[in-house]
Structure 1
Amino acid sequence: MAGSFSTWIRKLTRDDDEVDADRLSGEADASGAVRAQICCQGEVVKLQGRLRYVDLRPTDSLATLVAELYDGTEGVQLIWLGRRSIPGIEPGRTVKVRGRVAIRDGRKVIYNPDYDLLPAHA
């Protein structure tokens, strides 16, 4: 009984970010996606999560659209070269992506990933 009470108290005192991270991780697991936390450089992976930010980073030679996908375990940068915008790719949107993981400046990155926009939750 004491164990169930402490579990109940722990659930009540968790912050919203922890609850959201657990939900995102659970949805990614249920979809068959790999957790961002365990994917490694060179692997072709399928990830699912929410876009934390989307940013246009123009350079002299090439427009670059950068987004961060967060699956509840870790963020992965998604970089589309030569794109100024992509309809539906916006902060807060849930997406499933496929691509090869690279490491850039110590961060996990997928260049020009294939993606599926997922329906918003009610």
Structure 2
Amino acid sequence: MTAGGYLKRLTRRLTEDLESLDAEEISQESRAAGGQRAAECCRGEEVTMHGELRSVQTCSKAAHSGVIAEFFDGTDVVKLKWIGRNRIPGLEPGRKLTVRGRVGEKDGVKVIFNPYYELLGED
């Protein structure tokens, strides 16, 4: 590792937008784990993705009850919806996980209903 390379990376980290750096890091982790990229997934496709939960919420309306999470793999956001669940232990914002399921679309947003999931170790 050269001093010039180190300074270049340090300068980039200090001046670049934190959100884009975070997205790049998550995307690299996903690729290294063999995950498919959310940005390249199409409706009807069976996928396995690795990423991080940005938000988790519970919807208690009878017609829409369930847990809804926003999953981000560094390239795109996918909504994960577990129908009929009030709570899922371990699902919380910032948690990394692997999800597997069929991609659908609802209101122009990619969604996976009742995905299989694996919680990854906490940082």
TM-score normalised over the length of structure 1: 0.88
1:24 aligns with 2:20: no
1:74 to 73, 76, 84: 76
Cα deviation code 1:19-78 (max 9, x no counterpart): 111110000001110011110000000011110110111222452110010111111000
Aligned equivalents of 1:39, 1:53: Cα separation in 2: 21
* Secondary structure at the counterpart of residue 19 of structure 1: helix
Following superposition, which runs of at least 4 residues in structure 1 exceed 6 angstroms of deviation?
Answer: none
Partner of 2:103: 101
State the aligned residue count. Answer: 118
Aligned equivalents of 2:12, 2:29: Cα separation in 1: 22
Partner of 1:87: 89
2:117 to 101, 104, 115: 115
1:49 to 38, 48, 51: 51
Aligned equivalents of 1:104, 1:49: Cα separation in 2: 21
The letter for the 2-side match of 1:83 is: R
Shift of 1:12: 3.8
RMSD: 1.9
Partner of 1:40: 42
- List alignment gaps of at least 5 residues for structure 1: none
Aligned equivalents of 1:118, 1:11: Cα separation in 2: 26
Shift of 1:11: 4.6
Identity %: 46
Aligned equivalents of 2:64, 2:72: Cα separation in 1: 26
